[in-house]
Amino acid sequence: MLSSSSSILFILGIGIFGGIAGAWFFQKIKVPQVLGYLVIGIIIGKSGLHLINSSVISSLNNFNYFALGIIGFMVGGELHLSTMKKYGKQFSAILFGEGILSFSLVTLSTSLILYVFTKNFTVSIAAGIVFGAIASATDPASTMSVLWEYRAKGLLTTTIIAIVALDDALAMTLYGLGTGLAQLLIGGNTSISTQLIKICIELFGAVLMGGLAGIFMNLIVRFSIDKTRTMVFGIATLLILIALSLTLHVDVILASMTMGIVVTNMAPNRSKAFFDLVKSFSAPIYVLFFVLVGARLVLGNMPWFLWAIVVSYVVFRSIGKVIGAWIGAKISNAEPIVKNYTGMALFAQGGVAIGLSIMATQHLGNLQIANGINLGDVIITGVTATTFIVQIIGPPMTKLAVKLAKETGKNKTEEDIISKWKVADVLDFKVPHVKMADSVKHVVSLFSGSEYFCLPVVDQDGKSIGIITVNDLKHLIASQDTWDWLLASDIVEPAPEIITKSESLEEAITALNQLGREQLPVVESVENPVPVGILDLRIVKKLVNNELVGV
């Protein structure tokens, strides 16, 4: 068993490597990759090989907060005020519909099962309320992972993102009120008003802190030229925000999500590249986060009544999500795809629910409900088991929802478009050729009549033998009297790379970037090196942007 601090790096490596391998396998069988991460976590965790034990998981708690902070930030980056203004009432109706109905159904069913076992009405209601409050939460991490994996884009996708983002605040509110009521029922020294004030402080504190961090980050995005440096500043700001949130006991996800909302709305164009960089940086963090979620799961030695709670929780929470979202969408006159498919995309349950269950054990853990079983054990074991089940069900259902709505594959990126194009798709074919016998004066006139920094040089058969660049001409500025008799053959240089028009655009761009060039001539083929145009990265970017706008 690996438990010492010296084993942490090994565990991180195994977790990331195994998670990626598991994701690859699950993608091959058409299953969302997040399940691959979870399965690997189960294999190496408490329910499998025990490579990761409780002490190791506890030592990585700060990493989990970091992952949740990045997830919240990226979710916030998807929320644009124009969309919220247009669909705000619709989102609110769906949010309250699915959240309140899930809370109500799980509270009633769990209370009934516990009462049959304990014959204690007060304890049963108290536990049921806590389970119901936790049931209202939807995991943004795995839901967003599926949406990103399948390039989902459209009205349903926008609705799902908004609901999972706002769901955290609703779950925190219901949880705070629920645990306060539960403590009152079992004789605790708290009150609903005290809990309500505490919730308001936590939620508004998170929004205030996240807003200030977002304003600061917006200044960095606006005035920093170096994209990598901007990303480093962003990660540092996010880490400070997470640390302050934990210190002041405010919600990490809500604070980081607010930061993302502020940045994306204050600098919508400039922040796009920043969010893309953070997303690429965060890939191994997502993988390890879900692997650790799987590693925590322990499902052995549960009494029958707890299995009954788990089954009823999953069933009634799912019913509440589907029917509640349908009712909310119906009331707000939402589009049919939103009304029919939103609920099935909200099954996932993860870090937020686990975190709330841990908090609940601190408040209710000492209450004995049977020999050797206390309420805290019931809550955390039950929520862990339900998380395992719905994390298996949730991602495929999210995939099914966006697939039925025909929104998969629509959120294309620059990389997606470039990977499908050939060099010929972006060429400017009207490019002048320089002949070996042309004078430098004539070459200068060709450059002055074009927008290019290099031109192909051809022999008498019209085949490429090299290039001439603007830099080659700069050396001759001081001796313009030589331009009439100096020939192109005197200054031609070999082409640093042979690019053919049938070549993959992705490979050609990689070659240009490695050479540090923005333009290079393109030939018909290696066997027939006749120049056919110029590959210009500026033109490529313009065409890709036009394609993205048209998507």
Per-residue pLDDT of the chain (551 residues; tens, 9 = 90+): 444 555 677 777 887 888 788 878 877 777 777 777 778 888 887 777 777 767 777 777 777 788 878 877 887 887 778 777 777 888 889 999 999 999 999 999 998 998 888 787 877 887 888 888 888 888 777 888 888 888 888 889 988 988 887 887 777 777 767 766 766 666 655 566 676 677 778 778 888 999 999 999 888 888 777 777 888 888 899 999 999 988 887 878 778 888 988 988 888 777 777 887 887 777 788 788 778 777 776 666 667 778 888 899 999 999 999 999 999 999 988 889 999 999 999 988 876 676 677 666 656 656 666 666 677 777 777 887 888 788 788 888 999 999 998 888 776 667 777 878 888 888 877 788 888 888 888 888 888 777 788 888 888 888 888 888 887 777 777 677 777 777 888 888 888 888 888 888 888 888 888 888 888 888 888 888 888 888 888 888 888 777 765 54
269 phi/psi in degrees, rounded to 5: -85, -45
Tell me, yes or no, whether 116 and 10 share the same domain. Answer: yes
The predicted model scores a pTM of 0.67
Tell me, yes or no, whether 162 and 185 share the same domain. Answer: yes
Number of domains in the chain: 2
Tell me, yes or no, whether 258 and 204 share the same domain. Answer: yes
Tell me, yes or no, whether 394 and 458 share the same domain. Answer: no
Whether residue 290 contacts residue 19, with contact meaning beta carbons closer than 8 Å, is answered with yes
Helix (H, G, I), strand (E, B) or coil at 468: strand
Name residue, tokens 């955290």: 168
Tell me, yes or no, whether 124 and 192 share the same domain. Answer: yes
Sorted by sequence, the CB contacts under 8 Å of residue 197 that are 6+ apart come out as none
Tell me, yes or no, whether 266 and 216 share the same domain. Answer: yes
Helix (H, G, I), strand (E, B) or coil at 484: coil
Residue at which a domain ends, from 361, 388, 411: 411
Q: How many CB atoms lie within 10 A of CB 410?
A: 14
State CA 326 to chain mean position distance: 26
Q: What is the CATH number of the domain that holds 546?
A: 3.10.580.10
Residue-wise burial string across 340-378, b where 16 or more C-beta atoms lie within 10 A, e elsewhere = bbbbbbbbbbbbbbbbbbbbbbebbeebebeeebebbbb
- 531 bridge partner residues: 523
Tell me, yes or no, whether 137 and 225 share the same domain. Answer: yes
Tell me, yes or no, whether 297 and 209 share the same domain. Answer: yes
Write out the residue range of the structural domain in which residue 294 sits.
Answer: 5-411
How far is it, in rounded angstroms, from Cα 259 to Cα 215? 8
Tell me, yes or no, whether 481 and 378 share the same domain. Answer: no
Residue at which a domain ends, from 411, 436, 470: 411
Q: What is the CATH number of the domain that holds 402?
A: 1.20.1530.20
- 435 bridge partner residues: 458
Tell me, yes or no, whether 368 and 425 share the same domain. Answer: no
Nearest to 94 by CA among 337, 370, 420: 337
Whether residue 100 contacts residue 335, with contact meaning beta carbons closer than 8 Å, is answered with no
Residue at which a domain ends, from 350, 381, 411: 411
For residue 520, give the H/E element and its range. Answer: strand 519-523
